[in-house]
Structure 1
Amino acid sequence: MNASTRKQTPADTQPASYEQATAELEQLVQQLESGQMSLDDTLKSYQRGATLLRYCREKLQAVEQQIQILDGTELKPYASDRQAGN
Structure 2
Amino acid sequence: MPRDDSSDIPADIRTMTFERALEDLEEIVRRLESGEVSLEESIATYTRGTQLKRHCEAKLESAREQVERIELRGGTVTAVPIQPD
Same fold (TM over 0.5): yes
- Tell me the TM-score normalized by structure 1: 0.67
**Residue matched to 2:57:** 57
Q: Structure 1, residues 37-84: CA drift from partner, whole Å, max 9, x if none? A: 101100011000000000000000001100113x854244xxxxxxxx
In structure 2, list runs of 5 or more residues that go unmatched.
Answer: 1-8, 72-77
CA distance in 2, matches of 1:27, 1:36: 12
**Runs of 4+ in structure 1 over 2 Å off:** none
Q: CA deviation at 1:24?
A: 0.3
The one-letter code sitting in structure 2 at the alignment partner of 1:31 is: R
Task: Name whichever structure is richer in strand by fraction.
Answer: 2
Identity of aligned residues (%): 32
**CA–CA separation in structure 1 for the residues paired with 2:17 and 2:58:** 12
- Which residues in structure 2 correspond to 1:4-83 (within 5 Å)? 12=10, 13-14=12-13, 15-69=15-69, 73-76=78-81
Give the TM-score of the pair, scaled to structure 2: 0.67
Unaligned runs of 5+ in 1: 1-10, 77-86
Flag the 1:62–1:34 CA change in 2: closer, same or farther, 3 A.
same
- Aligned pairs, how many? 65
